Structure 1
């Protein structure tokens, strides 16, 4: 198994970091029950470690925005960050 993607999203009430595991019903997830500030890189690193993952060497977080309703640009924006991760032992979990 190769590398995986971790994503972090914010919908206005809490931040949620999760590792995308296609085909799995439950993805490893950590939540910060706050609307701000954005979890720091150190907080994200600790959360990933608690889930058994680490950022792939050389990878950086990228940010994008989406809308709750893609067909209506007046709906609230959803912020999404993503980074490539691997299992903490150097391989994917």
Structure 2
């Protein structure tokens, strides 16, 4: 089964978890929207991924990165992005 990258990001105070599928239009990527507020817990993220048809790969851990909203502008607000390796539960996204 092919591994994919799941990512968690926030826009306008709302967290979104999605699975990047290369060769598939972004509008068709599986995604789950969390309510506004605090960062979803690891178990909430796991349940959302399971609902999307994915599970964590063995030994996978969340990696957090920060990036500027406006590249090359050190006064730009910073955004957070979390990533983790996942695989399809049933091979449907191989």
TM-score under structure 2 length normalisation: 0.88
Distance 1:11 1:52 in 2: 24
Task: Count residues in correspondence.
Answer: 91
CA pair 92-61 structure 1, distance change in 2 beyond 3 A: farther
5+ residue gaps, structure 1, are none
Q: How does 1:1-93 map to 2 (within 5 A)?
A: 2-25=2-25, 26-34=28-36, 36-89=37-90, 91=91, 93=93
TM-score under structure 1 length normalisation: 0.89
Distance 2:2 2:89 in 1: 13
Moved over 6 A (4+): none
CA pair 86-92 structure 1, distance change in 2 beyond 3 A: farther
Which whole-Å deviations, capped at 9, do the CAs of 1:2-52 have from their partners, x for residues lacking one?
200000011341001000001111210111121x31100000001001100
Across the aligned residues of Structure 1 and Structure 2, the Cα RMSD in angstroms comes to 1.4
